[in-house]
Structure 1
Amino acid sequence: MNLKVLPNAINTGKLVLSNVADDPTFFALQVARRFKSNPVLGALISTLGSDNSNIRLRALSAMLRDKSSAFQSACRDWVSTGGNPSHAVFLANLCIASNEWKIAEELLSRGAPSNAHVRANARLLWSLGRMTDAINLLRDIRSGRQLSHYESELATFKGREPQLAAPRVPDKSNSETRSVIYVATNSLPHTGSGYAQRTHSILTSLKEAGWRVKGLTRVNYPLNIGKLSASETDVVSDIEYQRCLPFPAKHDLTGRIQQQAEDLLARVIREKPSVLHTTTDFSNALAVKAVAEATRTPWVYEVRGQLADTWLSTRPDSSKDSERYRLFLEREAFVAQHADHVFTLGDAMKRNLVDAGVDERKISILPNGIGEKFVEEPVSRRQARDQLRLDSEAFYVGTVSSLVHYEGLSTVIRAVAELANQHESLRLLIVGDGIDRENLVSLAKKLGIAGRCVFPGRIPREQAHLYHAALNVFVVPRIDSAVTRSVTPLKPVEALASKVPVLASDLPALRELITDGENGHLIKAGAVAEWAECIEKLMLNPENARRMGKSGREFVLANRTWEQNALSIVEVYERVISKAPGQ
């Protein structure tokens, strides 16, 4: 029996109460998304919306199924019919959880005054980045847990750091000189995201380069994604991932970072690593920074995304002037400035770091790379399709991606719809899951091409190379936003390795991967007609597509493998270790 089950269950129960206090509707939405593949739950959620006369249940059902059009329609019906004011808070909370900011504001303007109404207004202000305004509202009604969590998070955003006991410098005279503790937000086997895959690839490549490596994940992970039987350690393909599972766990941001720092300090004293390495966001870095300074251990910060801009991408433009956005940028700049070295994904992100005041001399590019199956010669298209039971004669355009709004996949669905009548063999394959999936499926139905579209959902990692190899064209139709202009994604790198030409939005981060006419094409973001034209050109000129695919693989093998990346990481590690006090 796993002795951690009872304390894990208690910590998880407290986490649930914490989430319910902060935003019960958003928590319910996250739970529904996690278990939506369960047929019983799916049927129950659908049944909720079967009574058209009950607007609240219609809206709840649509929200839980990620049916944004149906959800918006239900909320607007309530507004237009002058619904019961006591229902406004319920619907507004649904809107806040679904990023429907304007409708939420309108609903709350019609709601009946109450403490619940104040809490919902505070939740809306908080979600839009108006942190102090939200806190002031909650102080007026002495709102308890929601207020304390907001205050804790604002304190961290304003500069609060973990406090450790007097510095303890480990005796490293008998320690290994090539060892690293790598602090990450999540990891395999519990999370299969691109983030987790990148972490695993880095640790694997470092181990193959002769380093002793250990991964360490954030406080209360993976309990916070529902894994109650989590143990202290997981070993995945010979890589050890340790868990930070204190009891009782803190659930406010300041408390979590403090516990992370205390846990890491004990490990550093015991294991004596020669370097610490962590990744975005800044909450990870604050814990690592505190321990590094207390133990005089060099540390490296890996900036994998523009997370303030990711947050902004689901908010109205006005949130760019918000307190949260400004403080988010400041905290990220602060930790990057204090790290001994900074890695980032590409040139666009490096420029952003320099503009934020980080010394250019201590920034290195550590791009997304390929390993495992993608280094091997890809399987033939026919073989991949046979294994996946896809039409061997069709022309498949598609992607393997998180299905979120900024990926811009509606552009490709519309482009395929424009070409459908002229090209009987054209098909669309969209692999992955996310909050935009149901909207994309609905759009395909609306445009009359549902029969040409395949949405397999989330797939096992070991099948990813097959889906890449099965495609004729890989698409990255990202919208033009701050985050997409800066962050270079992993999946097109894997597509290029699979000898598949890539069509991508003409954005700075994607220009780092795609050379127009050589390994794909760059197309104006959102320009449906131009996307359709490029797809058709590749359909009519298969020899050109093969040439681009071959060129793409040559580029990736020459520039984007984890074996090459490991050499860069090791060189940085050795440099910062040599400059550390006492070396």
Structure 2
Amino acid sequence: MTRILHVLDHSLPLHSGYAFRTRAILTAQQRAGLDVRAVTSVRHQASLPAGASVEPVEVHDGLTFHRTMETVSGPPGLREWRDIGALARATEATCAIWKPDILHAHSPCLDGLAALRVGRKLGLPVLYEIRAFWEDAAVGNGTGSEGSAKYWLTRQMENRAVAGAAAVAVICEGLRQDLIARGFPGEKIMVSPNGVDMEMFGSPIPADPIRAQALGLDGKTVIGFIGSFYPYEGLDDLIAAMPLLLARNPEIRLLLVGGGPAEDVLRSQAENSPAAHAIRFVGRVPHNEVEHYYSLIDILAYPRKAMRLTETVTPLKPLEAMAQGRLVAASNVGGHRELITDGITGTLFAPDDPKAMADALAKLAAAPETWDERRAIARAFVAEERNWERNVQRYQPIYQRMLDNRAERRVFSAA
């Protein structure tokens, strides 16, 4: 049985899109007959709630995670270098006791560089998977700026990880084309798109009438967002569109579920909006309760702003919404165009434009006779094209090629 050791930034029990994609990949690979484990970086512990304990080896949802138990500090640059070293040591220690055949590292590039260090030492092939370019994610999160020295340095580290890996995976075609434009060969780069675990999201539950009544949503057309509140998500534009929507349909309500860096600003904007009475904030909810909120929403809106991050990276949430049988409307940026065919699996509107958003949402809300067909088509797309059971099959020929190349090198060395 082939053993795959995944090298990660963080994992369960933390809840994030990153952790959920990891869980989906590892779970589907186990079902496919692979033996999988993972090792996480020092950033996993740093992200845990204060006082939370960490064990060297933990099992969550039937998956085994080895932890980097070191802590690192120092000024920027030196801290990241120490981070790579700590993760490399933890990965090498895990390899000593578990003997993997392949290292599958996931972005950020620090993880890729740590895996490459171990791979060179132990003769293990490395697949490096990029979910977003770290430098662009920092710009989107408001913690970096394009063109800065930090941005340039991070990009060089990313290029080094890509160059050193035996193969590279990216979550969408936008990232693949960006790497090809940098000069990397296209045949080295595979696309492993975001997907949905249909066992988890594929059986929508009925709307909860008590919850709907408590939120004042009973009998209303509900537009919603479920996810993290980052500035690049464009939720400020969605709130700005609400007065225009109410002018077209007074029975529309907006439900925002989640939290994040932009939450306080968004709450203040909503409180000062003429549409304040029609906007509901729920806050963060446990992952096992998310489907109850999906059940209350008619149209999931994803108004991401136009920028490098959103043009090159596909989000996971629209796919989960489609699997839940919800209508999807999203801004017309590259990451959304890889998921949504306008007028068929969803609705696209101009980014950074509250009026265009309001027009598109009002038009969709006014045509309930089209909803059932649209929902069915979108759900079938996810089940057939973005089901994790199918997605993980894309890795198999890459893994096999890496193993064959490793075997050839061993024969050559022996000769």
TM more than 0.5: yes
Map of 2:114 onto structure 1: 287
**1:217 pairs with 2:40:** yes
**1:447 pairs with 2:270:** no
Q: Structure 1 CA distance, aligned partners of 2:47 and 2:243?
A: 41
**1:309 pairs with 2:136:** yes
Could you tell me whether the CA contact under 8 Å between 1:250 and 1:259 is conserved in 2?
no
- Cα distance, 1:224 vs structure 2: 5.3
- Cα distance, 1:453 vs structure 2: 1.4
Q: Structure 2 CA distance, aligned partners of 1:335 and 1:376?
A: 36
Amino acid at match of 2:205: V
Amino acid at match of 2:156: E
Could you tell me whether the CA contact under 8 Å between 1:184 and 1:284 is conserved in 2?
yes
Map of 2:66 onto structure 1: 242
Map of 1:518 onto structure 2: 344
Map of 2:56 onto structure 1: 232
Deviations 1:215-255 (A, max 9, x none): 11103632553344211122111111111103x75552222
- Cα distance, 1:321 vs structure 2: 2.9
- SS of the residue corresponding to residue 582 of structure 1 reads helix
Amino acid at match of 2:29: L
Could you tell me whether the CA contact under 8 Å between 1:374 and 1:498 is conserved in 2?
no
Map of 1:544 onto structure 2: 370
Map of 2:410 onto structure 1: 582
Flag the 1:443–1:231 CA change in 2: closer, same or farther, 3 A: same
Q: Structure 2 CA distance, aligned partners of 1:374 and 1:219?
A: 29
Could you tell me whether the CA contact under 8 Å between 2:142 and 2:231 is conserved in 1?
no
Amino acid at match of 1:559: E
Alignment counterpart, residue 85 of structure 2, candidates 258, 271, 274? 258
Amino acid at match of 1:237: D
Q: Structure 2 CA distance, aligned partners of 1:250 and 1:437?
A: 29
Structure with a larger share of its residues in helix: 1
Flag the 1:316–1:469 CA change in 2: closer, same or farther, 3 A: closer
- SS of the residue corresponding to residue 249 of structure 2 reads coil
Map of 1:272 onto structure 2: 99
Map of 2:294 onto structure 1: 468
- Cα distance, 1:355 vs structure 2: 1.3
Map of 1:344 onto structure 2: 170
Q: Structure 2 CA distance, aligned partners of 1:240 and 1:196?
A: 13
Please give the residue correspondences for 1:550-565 in structure 2 after superposition, counting only pairs within 5 Å.
Answer: 550-565=376-391
Could you tell me whether the CA contact under 8 Å between 2:345 and 2:375 is conserved in 1?
yes
Could you tell me whether the CA contact under 8 Å between 1:220 and 1:245 is conserved in 2?
no
Q: Structure 1 CA distance, aligned partners of 2:142 and 2:210?
A: 43
Q: Structure 2 CA distance, aligned partners of 1:569 and 1:355?
A: 23
Q: Structure 2 CA distance, aligned partners of 1:582 and 1:228?
A: 44
- SS of the residue corresponding to residue 313 of structure 1 reads helix
Amino acid at match of 1:311: A
- SS of the residue corresponding to residue 401 of structure 1 reads strand
Q: Structure 1 CA distance, aligned partners of 2:63 and 2:316?
A: 21
**1:485 pairs with 2:311:** yes
Map of 2:11 onto structure 1: 187
Gaps of 5+ in 1: 1-176
- Cα distance, 1:379 vs structure 2: 2.0
Amino acid at match of 1:538: L
Amino acid at match of 1:214: R
- SS of the residue corresponding to residue 228 of structure 2 reads coil
- Cα distance, 1:324 vs structure 2: 1.7
- Cα distance, 1:209 vs structure 2: 0.9
Amino acid at match of 2:293: Y
Alignment counterpart, residue 409 of structure 1, candidates 228, 235, 239? 235
Flag the 1:224–1:461 CA change in 2: closer, same or farther, 3 A: closer
Between 1 and 2, higher relative CO (CA 8 Å, sep ≥ 6) is seen in 2
Flag the 1:404–1:275 CA change in 2: closer, same or farther, 3 A: same
- SS of the residue corresponding to residue 44 of structure 2 reads coil
Kindly name which structure, 1 or 2, has the bigger radius of gyration based on alpha carbons. Answer: 1
Deviations 1:534-567 (A, max 9, x none): 1111221101122211111011111101101121
- SS of the residue corresponding to residue 420 of structure 1 reads helix
Identical counterparts, % of pairs: 28
- Cα distance, 1:373 vs structure 2: 4.6
Deviations 1:84-140 (A, max 9, x none): xxxxxxxxxxxxxxxxxxxxxxxxxxxxxxxxxxxxxxxxxxxxxxxxxxxxxxxxx
Could you tell me whether the CA contact under 8 Å between 2:9 and 2:43 is conserved in 1?
no
- SS of the residue corresponding to residue 372 of structure 2 reads helix
Deviations 1:7-54 (A, max 9, x none): xxxxxxxxxxxxxxxxxxxxxxxxxxxxxxxxxxxxxxxxxxxxxxxx
**1:297 pairs with 2:121:** no
Could you tell me whether the CA contact under 8 Å between 1:441 and 1:450 is conserved in 2?
no
Flag the 1:385–1:437 CA change in 2: closer, same or farther, 3 A: farther
Amino acid at match of 2:410: G
Gaps of 5+ in 2: none
**1:198 pairs with 2:25:** no
- SS of the residue corresponding to residue 470 of structure 1 reads coil
Structure with a larger share of its residues in strand: 2
Count of residues paired in the alignment: 402
Map of 1:509 onto structure 2: 335
Flag the 1:232–1:578 CA change in 2: closer, same or farther, 3 A: same
Q: Structure 2 CA distance, aligned partners of 1:212 and 1:430?
A: 39
Q: Structure 2 CA distance, aligned partners of 1:224 and 1:440?
A: 24
Amino acid at match of 1:183: V
- SS of the residue corresponding to residue 234 of structure 1 reads strand
Amino acid at match of 1:402: S
- Superposition TM-score, scaled by structure 2 size: 0.92
Deviations 1:178-237 (A, max 9, x none): 111111111111x10110111111111111111111111103632553344211122111
- SS of the residue corresponding to residue 325 of structure 1 reads helix
Flag the 1:231–1:316 CA change in 2: closer, same or farther, 3 A: closer
Map of 2:180 onto structure 1: 354
Map of 2:259 onto structure 1: 433
- Cα distance, 1:279 vs structure 2: 0.9
Q: Structure 2 CA distance, aligned partners of 1:519 and 1:372?
A: 17
- Cα distance, 1:490 vs structure 2: 0.4
Please give the residue correspondences for 1:12-411 in structure 2 after superposition, counting only pairs within 5 Å.
Answer: 177-189=1-13, 191-219=14-42, 221-223=44-46, 225=48, 226-246=50-70, 252-313=79-140, 319-380=145-206, 383-386=207-210, 389-390=214-215, 391-411=217-237
Give the alignment's Cα RMSD to 1 decimal.
2.0
Q: Structure 2 CA distance, aligned partners of 1:362 and 1:385?
A: 51
Map of 2:321 onto structure 1: 495
Flag the 1:373–1:465 CA change in 2: closer, same or farther, 3 A: farther
- SS of the residue corresponding to residue 432 of structure 1 reads strand
Could you tell me whether the CA contact under 8 Å between 1:496 and 1:556 is conserved in 2?
yes
- SS of the residue corresponding to residue 222 of structure 1 reads helix
- Superposition TM-score, scaled by structure 1 size: 0.66
